[in-house]
Amino acid sequence: MTVAETYRGINHRAVKLRNRSTVFRIVRDVGPIARIDLARQTGLNAATVTNIVEELLAARLVEETGQGTSRVGRRPIFLEVNPSARLTLGLDLARDSITGAIVDLSGRIMERFAEPAGPWLDGAVVLSTVGAMVQRLLATLPAPDRQALVGIGIGAPGRVSFSSGRYLAPPAYGAWDGLALRQEVAARFGLPTYFDNNGNTSTLAELWFGAGQGIANFALLTVGTGVGGGLVLDGDLYHGAHDLAGELGHMSVNLAGPRCACGNYGCLEMYVAVPRVLAAVRAALMSGEPSALRAGARSADRLTLDDVIAAAGAGDDLATRIMADVARHLAAAMTNLFHAFDPELILIGRDLARASDLLLGPVRQEVQRRAMAVMRENFRLEVAALPDAPVIGAATLALREFFRAPLPDRHDIVA
Protein backbone atom coordinates (compact mmCIF):
# COMPACT_ATOMS: atom_id res chain seq x y z
CA MET A 1 0.00 0.00 0.00
CA THR A 2 1.30 3.42 -0.93
CA VAL A 3 1.19 6.48 1.32
CA ALA A 4 -1.49 7.94 -0.94
CA GLU A 5 -3.64 4.84 -0.54
CA THR A 6 -3.36 5.12 3.24
CA TYR A 7 -5.33 8.38 3.09
CA ARG A 8 -7.79 7.37 0.37
CA GLY A 9 -11.46 7.89 1.26
CA ILE A 10 -14.36 5.55 0.55
CA ASN A 11 -17.29 6.65 -1.60
CA HIS A 12 -20.88 5.39 -1.38
CA ARG A 13 -20.41 2.80 -4.12
CA ALA A 14 -17.30 1.40 -2.48
CA VAL A 15 -19.13 1.12 0.85
CA LYS A 16 -21.92 -0.81 -0.85
CA LEU A 17 -19.47 -3.22 -2.47
CA ARG A 18 -17.58 -3.71 0.78
CA ASN A 19 -20.77 -4.39 2.75
CA ARG A 20 -21.85 -6.95 0.18
CA SER A 21 -18.47 -8.65 0.33
CA THR A 22 -18.50 -8.62 4.14
CA VAL A 23 -21.89 -10.32 4.36
CA PHE A 24 -20.93 -12.92 1.75
CA ARG A 25 -17.64 -13.74 3.49
CA ILE A 26 -19.30 -14.09 6.91
CA VAL A 27 -21.85 -16.50 5.46
CA ARG A 28 -18.91 -18.51 4.11
CA ASP A 29 -16.91 -18.39 7.34
CA VAL A 30 -19.68 -18.83 9.90
CA GLY A 31 -22.66 -20.33 8.06
CA PRO A 32 -25.20 -21.63 8.64
CA ILE A 33 -26.13 -18.22 10.00
CA ALA A 34 -29.40 -16.28 10.33
CA ARG A 35 -29.98 -12.77 9.03
CA ILE A 36 -30.27 -11.35 12.55
CA ASP A 37 -26.85 -12.77 13.43
CA LEU A 38 -25.39 -11.31 10.24
CA ALA A 39 -26.60 -7.91 11.36
CA ARG A 40 -25.05 -8.39 14.81
CA GLN A 41 -21.70 -9.52 13.46
CA THR A 42 -21.39 -6.88 10.74
CA GLY A 43 -22.92 -3.96 12.62
CA LEU A 44 -25.10 -3.27 9.59
CA ASN A 45 -28.78 -2.47 10.08
CA ALA A 46 -31.34 -5.19 9.41
CA ALA A 47 -32.66 -3.55 6.22
CA THR A 48 -29.18 -3.40 4.66
CA VAL A 49 -28.52 -7.04 5.53
CA THR A 50 -31.88 -8.08 4.11
CA ASN A 51 -31.23 -6.27 0.83
CA ILE A 52 -27.77 -7.81 0.44
CA VAL A 53 -29.04 -11.31 1.29
CA GLU A 54 -31.82 -10.96 -1.29
CA GLU A 55 -29.23 -10.05 -3.94
CA LEU A 56 -27.08 -13.06 -3.02
CA LEU A 57 -30.12 -15.38 -3.01
CA ALA A 58 -31.22 -14.09 -6.42
CA ALA A 59 -27.74 -14.88 -7.78
CA ARG A 60 -27.87 -18.34 -6.13
CA LEU A 61 -24.64 -17.53 -4.29
CA VAL A 62 -26.27 -18.33 -0.96
CA GLU A 63 -29.15 -20.60 -0.10
CA GLU A 64 -31.61 -21.03 2.75
CA THR A 65 -30.85 -24.35 4.41
CA GLY A 66 -33.08 -24.69 7.47
CA GLN A 67 -34.71 -23.02 10.42
CA GLY A 68 -33.52 -22.35 13.92
CA THR A 69 -35.51 -22.11 17.14
CA SER A 70 -37.00 -18.99 18.67
CA ARG A 71 -38.90 -18.36 21.88
CA VAL A 72 -40.68 -15.36 20.42
CA GLY A 73 -41.73 -14.55 16.86
CA ARG A 74 -40.70 -16.20 13.62
CA ARG A 75 -38.08 -18.91 13.58
CA PRO A 76 -34.82 -17.68 11.97
CA ILE A 77 -33.89 -19.09 8.56
CA PHE A 78 -30.28 -20.14 8.16
CA LEU A 79 -28.10 -19.15 5.22
CA GLU A 80 -25.11 -20.93 3.71
CA VAL A 81 -22.96 -20.41 0.64
CA ASN A 82 -24.11 -22.46 -2.34
CA PRO A 83 -20.79 -24.18 -3.15
CA SER A 84 -21.67 -25.12 -6.72
CA ALA A 85 -22.76 -21.61 -7.72
CA ARG A 86 -19.31 -20.71 -9.03
CA LEU A 87 -16.15 -22.60 -9.97
CA THR A 88 -12.48 -21.78 -10.38
CA LEU A 89 -9.54 -23.47 -12.08
CA GLY A 90 -6.33 -24.02 -10.13
CA LEU A 91 -2.96 -25.03 -11.60
CA ASP A 92 0.15 -25.95 -9.65
CA LEU A 93 3.47 -26.03 -11.52
CA ALA A 94 5.99 -28.11 -9.59
CA ARG A 95 9.59 -28.79 -10.57
CA ASP A 96 8.71 -31.91 -12.55
CA SER A 97 4.91 -32.01 -12.79
CA ILE A 98 1.73 -30.01 -13.29
CA THR A 99 -1.53 -30.47 -11.41
CA GLY A 100 -4.83 -28.93 -12.46
CA ALA A 101 -8.16 -28.89 -10.64
CA ILE A 102 -11.68 -27.52 -10.82
CA VAL A 103 -12.62 -26.20 -7.37
CA ASP A 104 -15.97 -25.01 -6.03
CA LEU A 105 -16.70 -22.23 -3.53
CA SER A 106 -16.16 -24.58 -0.58
CA GLY A 107 -12.67 -25.57 -1.73
CA ARG A 108 -13.84 -29.02 -2.84
CA ILE A 109 -12.03 -30.47 -5.84
CA MET A 110 -14.56 -31.39 -8.53
CA GLU A 111 -12.01 -32.66 -11.06
CA ARG A 112 -8.26 -33.18 -10.81
CA PHE A 113 -5.49 -34.10 -13.24
CA ALA A 114 -1.79 -34.52 -12.55
CA GLU A 115 0.91 -35.39 -15.03
CA PRO A 116 4.68 -35.19 -15.45
CA ALA A 117 5.94 -31.97 -16.95
CA GLY A 118 9.17 -30.21 -17.72
CA PRO A 119 11.94 -29.71 -18.08
CA TRP A 120 10.85 -26.08 -18.05
CA LEU A 121 13.27 -25.01 -20.77
CA ASP A 122 11.67 -21.70 -21.66
CA GLY A 123 8.52 -19.63 -21.50
CA ALA A 124 7.01 -21.30 -24.57
CA VAL A 125 7.10 -24.69 -22.84
CA VAL A 126 5.42 -23.23 -19.76
CA LEU A 127 2.64 -21.56 -21.75
CA SER A 128 2.05 -24.67 -23.84
CA THR A 129 1.85 -26.94 -20.79
CA VAL A 130 -0.42 -24.59 -18.84
CA GLY A 131 -2.67 -24.07 -21.86
CA ALA A 132 -3.04 -27.81 -22.44
CA MET A 133 -4.01 -28.38 -18.80
CA VAL A 134 -6.60 -25.60 -18.86
CA GLN A 135 -8.09 -27.06 -22.04
CA ARG A 136 -8.21 -30.51 -20.44
CA LEU A 137 -10.09 -29.15 -17.42
CA LEU A 138 -12.49 -27.12 -19.55
CA ALA A 139 -13.30 -30.20 -21.62
CA THR A 140 -14.83 -31.86 -18.53
CA LEU A 141 -17.32 -29.02 -18.00
CA PRO A 142 -20.68 -28.81 -19.76
CA ALA A 143 -21.47 -25.40 -21.23
CA PRO A 144 -23.62 -24.17 -18.28
CA ASP A 145 -20.82 -24.93 -15.82
CA ARG A 146 -18.30 -23.03 -17.93
CA GLN A 147 -20.46 -19.95 -17.38
CA ALA A 148 -19.93 -20.44 -13.63
CA LEU A 149 -16.14 -20.05 -13.90
CA VAL A 150 -14.87 -16.93 -12.15
CA GLY A 151 -11.16 -17.20 -12.83
CA ILE A 152 -7.91 -19.12 -13.04
CA GLY A 153 -5.22 -19.28 -10.37
CA ILE A 154 -1.67 -20.48 -10.96
CA GLY A 155 1.05 -21.38 -8.49
CA ALA A 156 4.70 -21.92 -9.45
CA PRO A 157 7.96 -22.60 -7.62
CA GLY A 158 10.36 -19.76 -6.94
CA ARG A 159 9.82 -16.03 -6.93
CA VAL A 160 6.66 -14.56 -8.40
CA SER A 161 5.56 -10.95 -8.55
CA PHE A 162 1.93 -11.23 -7.48
CA SER A 163 1.22 -7.59 -8.34
CA SER A 164 2.66 -7.70 -11.88
CA GLY A 165 1.87 -11.34 -12.69
CA ARG A 166 5.45 -11.94 -13.83
CA TYR A 167 7.87 -14.69 -12.92
CA LEU A 168 11.06 -13.61 -11.14
CA ALA A 169 12.91 -16.81 -11.88
CA PRO A 170 15.58 -18.35 -9.65
CA PRO A 171 18.67 -19.75 -11.43
CA ALA A 172 17.02 -23.14 -12.07
CA TYR A 173 14.28 -21.40 -14.09
CA GLY A 174 16.31 -18.62 -15.65
CA ALA A 175 15.10 -19.39 -19.18
CA TRP A 176 11.67 -18.01 -18.35
CA ASP A 177 12.63 -15.08 -16.16
CA GLY A 178 10.14 -12.24 -16.62
CA LEU A 179 7.48 -14.44 -18.24
CA ALA A 180 4.12 -12.59 -18.06
CA LEU A 181 2.21 -15.80 -17.35
CA ARG A 182 -0.85 -14.15 -15.83
CA GLN A 183 -1.38 -11.86 -18.79
CA GLU A 184 -0.78 -14.59 -21.38
CA VAL A 185 -3.26 -17.03 -19.83
CA ALA A 186 -5.89 -14.34 -19.26
CA ALA A 187 -5.66 -13.23 -22.89
CA ARG A 188 -5.92 -16.77 -24.22
CA PHE A 189 -8.89 -17.95 -22.12
CA GLY A 190 -10.74 -14.71 -21.40
CA LEU A 191 -10.87 -15.28 -17.64
CA PRO A 192 -9.41 -13.25 -14.77
CA THR A 193 -6.09 -14.91 -13.95
CA TYR A 194 -3.94 -14.71 -10.82
CA PHE A 195 -0.37 -15.88 -10.28
CA ASP A 196 1.66 -16.50 -7.13
CA ASN A 197 4.36 -18.83 -5.87
CA ASN A 198 3.20 -22.19 -4.59
CA GLY A 199 4.36 -21.54 -1.05
CA ASN A 200 1.85 -18.71 -0.91
CA THR A 201 -0.88 -20.72 -2.62
CA SER A 202 -0.43 -23.55 -0.09
CA THR A 203 -0.65 -21.02 2.74
CA LEU A 204 -3.80 -19.49 1.26
CA ALA A 205 -5.43 -22.94 1.05
CA GLU A 206 -4.67 -23.61 4.71
CA LEU A 207 -6.05 -20.18 5.65
CA TRP A 208 -9.34 -20.68 3.82
CA PHE A 209 -9.96 -24.41 4.10
CA GLY A 210 -7.33 -26.06 6.30
CA ALA A 211 -5.48 -25.85 9.60
CA GLY A 212 -5.24 -22.04 9.43
CA GLN A 213 -8.98 -21.34 9.36
CA GLY A 214 -9.89 -18.65 11.86
CA ILE A 215 -6.23 -17.88 12.67
CA ALA A 216 -5.15 -14.32 11.93
CA ASN A 217 -1.37 -14.82 12.16
CA PHE A 218 0.46 -18.00 11.16
CA ALA A 219 3.30 -19.31 9.04
CA LEU A 220 3.49 -22.34 6.75
CA LEU A 221 6.83 -24.01 6.08
CA THR A 222 6.73 -26.33 3.06
CA VAL A 223 9.56 -28.84 2.77
CA GLY A 224 9.99 -30.98 -0.31
CA THR A 225 12.51 -30.79 -3.16
CA GLY A 226 12.99 -27.21 -2.00
CA VAL A 227 11.85 -25.24 1.03
CA GLY A 228 9.29 -22.48 0.83
CA GLY A 229 6.27 -21.26 2.67
CA GLY A 230 4.09 -18.28 3.35
CA LEU A 231 3.04 -15.82 6.03
CA VAL A 232 -0.47 -14.82 7.07
CA LEU A 233 -0.57 -11.51 8.95
CA ASP A 234 -3.81 -9.94 10.15
CA GLY A 235 -5.87 -12.52 8.29
CA ASP A 236 -4.38 -12.30 4.81
CA LEU A 237 -1.31 -13.38 2.88
CA TYR A 238 1.66 -11.11 3.39
CA HIS A 239 3.61 -10.46 0.18
CA GLY A 240 6.01 -7.79 1.40
CA ALA A 241 7.12 -4.59 -0.30
CA HIS A 242 8.49 -6.40 -3.38
CA ASP A 243 6.30 -9.55 -3.45
CA LEU A 244 9.19 -11.58 -2.04
CA ALA A 245 8.00 -12.37 1.50
CA GLY A 246 7.75 -16.03 2.46
CA GLU A 247 11.16 -17.20 1.19
CA LEU A 248 11.52 -19.17 4.40
CA GLY A 249 13.94 -21.70 2.91
CA HIS A 250 16.55 -18.97 2.59
CA MET A 251 16.80 -17.99 6.24
CA SER A 252 20.36 -18.60 7.41
CA VAL A 253 20.54 -21.27 10.11
CA ASN A 254 24.36 -21.58 9.91
CA LEU A 255 26.40 -18.47 9.19
CA ALA A 256 29.40 -20.63 8.28
CA GLY A 257 27.34 -23.01 6.14
CA PRO A 258 27.69 -23.83 2.45
CA ARG A 259 26.68 -21.32 -0.20
CA CYS A 260 23.15 -21.73 -1.54
CA ALA A 261 22.14 -21.19 -5.18
CA CYS A 262 20.36 -18.02 -4.00
CA GLY A 263 23.74 -16.50 -3.05
CA ASN A 264 23.28 -16.73 0.71
CA TYR A 265 25.18 -19.06 3.05
CA GLY A 266 23.79 -21.72 5.37
CA CYS A 267 20.19 -21.49 4.13
CA LEU A 268 17.62 -23.74 5.79
CA GLU A 269 17.03 -25.42 2.44
CA MET A 270 20.62 -26.69 2.47
CA TYR A 271 19.88 -28.78 5.57
CA VAL A 272 16.25 -29.95 5.43
CA ALA A 273 15.18 -30.17 1.76
CA VAL A 274 14.56 -33.79 0.79
CA PRO A 275 17.50 -34.06 -1.67
CA ARG A 276 19.82 -32.75 1.06
CA VAL A 277 18.49 -35.26 3.59
CA LEU A 278 19.00 -38.14 1.17
CA ALA A 279 22.47 -36.88 0.24
CA ALA A 280 23.45 -36.88 3.92
CA VAL A 281 22.23 -40.46 4.28
CA ARG A 282 24.16 -41.59 1.20
CA ALA A 283 27.33 -39.88 2.39
CA ALA A 284 27.08 -41.65 5.76
CA LEU A 285 26.52 -45.01 4.08
CA MET A 286 29.50 -44.49 1.77
CA SER A 287 31.68 -43.66 4.79
CA GLY A 288 30.86 -47.08 6.19
CA GLU A 289 28.43 -46.07 8.94
CA PRO A 290 26.31 -49.12 9.86
CA SER A 291 22.60 -48.91 9.07
CA ALA A 292 19.64 -51.08 8.21
CA LEU A 293 19.32 -48.86 5.14
CA ARG A 294 22.46 -50.53 3.77
CA ALA A 295 20.82 -53.95 3.97
CA GLY A 296 17.59 -52.85 2.35
CA ALA A 297 16.45 -53.86 -1.09
CA ARG A 298 17.20 -50.44 -2.56
CA SER A 299 20.65 -49.27 -3.55
CA ALA A 300 21.85 -46.05 -1.93
CA ASP A 301 21.07 -43.97 -5.02
CA ARG A 302 17.46 -45.19 -4.98
CA LEU A 303 16.73 -44.40 -1.34
CA THR A 304 13.61 -42.32 -0.68
CA LEU A 305 12.54 -40.09 2.17
CA ASP A 306 10.00 -42.73 3.19
CA ASP A 307 12.84 -45.27 3.53
CA VAL A 308 14.67 -42.93 5.90
CA ILE A 309 11.51 -42.16 7.90
CA ALA A 310 10.73 -45.87 8.27
CA ALA A 311 14.29 -46.66 9.36
CA ALA A 312 14.30 -43.86 11.94
CA GLY A 313 10.94 -45.02 13.23
CA ALA A 314 12.42 -48.51 13.69
CA GLY A 315 15.32 -47.11 15.72
CA ASP A 316 18.08 -47.14 13.09
CA ASP A 317 20.94 -45.04 14.47
CA LEU A 318 21.99 -43.42 11.19
CA ALA A 319 18.45 -42.48 10.14
CA THR A 320 17.66 -41.25 13.66
CA ARG A 321 20.76 -39.04 13.68
CA ILE A 322 19.92 -37.55 10.27
CA MET A 323 16.32 -36.78 11.26
CA ALA A 324 17.49 -35.26 14.58
CA ASP A 325 19.75 -32.94 12.59
CA VAL A 326 16.77 -31.97 10.41
CA ALA A 327 14.76 -31.23 13.57
CA ARG A 328 17.48 -28.98 15.00
CA HIS A 329 17.69 -26.88 11.84
CA LEU A 330 13.90 -26.64 11.57
CA ALA A 331 13.74 -25.51 15.19
CA ALA A 332 16.34 -22.80 14.57
CA ALA A 333 14.30 -21.45 11.65
CA MET A 334 11.02 -21.64 13.58
CA THR A 335 12.54 -19.80 16.53
CA ASN A 336 13.51 -17.00 14.13
CA LEU A 337 9.96 -16.92 12.75
CA PHE A 338 8.49 -16.94 16.22
CA HIS A 339 10.65 -14.06 17.42
CA ALA A 340 10.17 -11.99 14.24
CA PHE A 341 6.41 -12.39 13.68
CA ASP A 342 4.90 -13.80 16.89
CA PRO A 343 2.53 -16.14 14.98
CA GLU A 344 -0.23 -18.10 16.70
CA LEU A 345 0.74 -21.20 14.74
CA ILE A 346 3.46 -22.64 12.52
CA LEU A 347 2.51 -25.41 10.08
CA ILE A 348 4.75 -27.94 8.34
CA GLY A 349 3.61 -29.06 4.89
CA ARG A 350 4.57 -31.12 1.87
CA ASP A 351 6.97 -34.10 1.97
CA LEU A 352 8.52 -33.60 5.39
CA ALA A 353 5.08 -33.55 7.01
CA ARG A 354 5.12 -37.34 6.56
CA ALA A 355 7.84 -37.44 9.24
CA SER A 356 5.71 -35.55 11.77
CA ASP A 357 5.79 -38.39 14.33
CA LEU A 358 9.59 -38.13 14.37
CA LEU A 359 9.97 -34.36 14.08
CA LEU A 360 7.26 -32.48 15.93
CA GLY A 361 8.31 -33.50 19.44
CA PRO A 362 12.04 -32.75 19.01
CA VAL A 363 11.31 -29.48 17.19
CA ARG A 364 8.99 -28.32 19.97
CA GLN A 365 11.59 -29.19 22.61
CA GLU A 366 14.34 -27.33 20.76
CA VAL A 367 12.16 -24.25 20.22
CA GLN A 368 11.28 -24.29 23.92
CA ARG A 369 14.99 -24.31 24.68
CA ARG A 370 15.78 -21.45 22.27
CA ALA A 371 12.78 -19.11 22.50
CA MET A 372 12.36 -16.21 24.89
CA ALA A 373 10.72 -17.36 28.12
CA VAL A 374 7.69 -15.11 27.67
CA MET A 375 6.91 -16.74 24.30
CA ARG A 376 7.52 -20.43 25.05
CA GLU A 377 4.05 -21.29 26.29
CA ASN A 378 2.41 -19.86 23.17
CA PHE A 379 4.34 -21.91 20.61
CA ARG A 380 2.08 -24.10 18.46
CA LEU A 381 3.44 -26.41 15.78
CA GLU A 382 1.15 -28.61 13.68
CA VAL A 383 1.04 -30.47 10.39
CA ALA A 384 -0.72 -28.80 7.46
CA ALA A 385 -4.15 -30.27 6.83
CA LEU A 386 -4.50 -30.31 3.03
CA PRO A 387 -2.55 -32.75 0.85
CA ASP A 388 -3.71 -30.85 -2.26
CA ALA A 389 -3.00 -27.42 -0.75
CA PRO A 390 -0.90 -26.10 -3.69
CA VAL A 391 -3.61 -26.60 -6.32
CA ILE A 392 -6.53 -25.72 -4.01
CA GLY A 393 -4.67 -22.57 -3.02
CA ALA A 394 -4.04 -21.68 -6.66
CA ALA A 395 -7.78 -21.89 -7.28
CA THR A 396 -8.36 -19.85 -4.12
CA LEU A 397 -6.41 -16.94 -5.64
CA ALA A 398 -9.41 -16.51 -7.94
CA LEU A 399 -11.95 -17.36 -5.20
CA ARG A 400 -10.53 -14.65 -2.96
CA GLU A 401 -11.06 -11.99 -5.61
CA PHE A 402 -14.57 -13.26 -6.28
CA PHE A 403 -15.54 -13.03 -2.61
CA ARG A 404 -14.31 -9.43 -2.61
CA ALA A 405 -16.75 -8.56 -5.41
CA PRO A 406 -19.32 -11.36 -5.69
CA LEU A 407 -21.84 -9.48 -7.83
CA PRO A 408 -21.21 -7.14 -10.76
CA ASP A 409 -22.09 -3.57 -9.98
CA ARG A 410 -24.00 -1.72 -12.66
CA HIS A 411 -21.10 0.75 -12.91
CA ASP A 412 -18.78 -2.15 -13.83
CA ILE A 413 -20.93 -3.33 -16.75
CA VAL A 414 -19.80 -1.99 -20.10
CA ALA A 415 -22.28 -2.26 -22.99
Task: Kindly give the confidence (pLDDT) of every residue in the chain, 415 residues in length, as a single tens digit, with 9 standing for 90 and above.
Answer: 555 555 555 566 778 888 998 999 999 998 899 999 999 998 999 999 999 999 999 999 999 987 666 555 567 889 999 999 999 999 999 878 899 999 999 999 999 999 988 676 677 888 888 999 999 999 999 988 899 999 999 998 878 778 777 777 665 666 666 678 889 999 999 999 999 999 999 999 999 999 999 999 999 999 998 899 999 999 999 999 888 888 999 999 999 999 998 889 999 999 999 999 999 999 999 999 999 888 764 567 789 999 999 999 999 999 999 999 999 999 999 999 999 999 999 999 999 999 999 999 999 999 988 888 877 777 889 999 999 999 999 999 999 999 998 887 543 433 2
Beta strands per DSSP E along 273-405: 345-349, 381-383
At 162 the pLDDT is 81
Q: Which CATH class is domain 214-385?
A: alpha beta
> How many other CB atoms sit within 10 Å of the CB of residue 14?
12
**Is residue 278 within a helix (H) or strand (E), and if so which, with residue range?**
helix 274-286
For the stretch 342-368, pLDDT in tens is 999 999 999 999 999 999 999 999 998
Q: How many residues does the chain have?
A: 415
**Burial degree of 253 (CB within 10 A; 0-12, 13-18, 19+):** buried
- Architecture, CATH, for domain 3-81: Orthogonal Bundle (1.10)
The confidence score (pLDDT) of residue 407 equals: 83
Query: pTM for this structure?
Result: 0.89
Looking at residue 411, its pLDDT comes to 37
How far is 251 from 331, CA to CA, in rounded Å?
A: 12
Predicted pLDDT at 289:
92
Q: How far is CA 44 from CA 33, 35, 74, 136, 239, in A?
A: 15, 11, 21, 44, 31
- Residue ranges matching CATH 3.30.420.40 in the chain: 86-206+390-407, 214-385
Residue intervals in the chain for CATH 1.10.10.10:
3-81
> Helix, strand, or coil here: 266?
coil
pLDDT per position as a tens digit, 136-153:
999 999 988 899 999 999
Q: 391 with 100: CB under 8 angstroms?
A: yes
Tally the C-alpha atoms within 13 A of residue 249's C-alpha that lie toward its C-beta. Answer: 25
| CATH superfamily membership of 86-206+390-407 | ATPase, nucleotide binding domain (3.30.420.40)
- Write the pLDDT tens digit of every residue in 259-299: 998 889 999 999 999 999 999 999 999 999 999 888 764 56
For residue 10, what pLDDT is reported?
A: 59
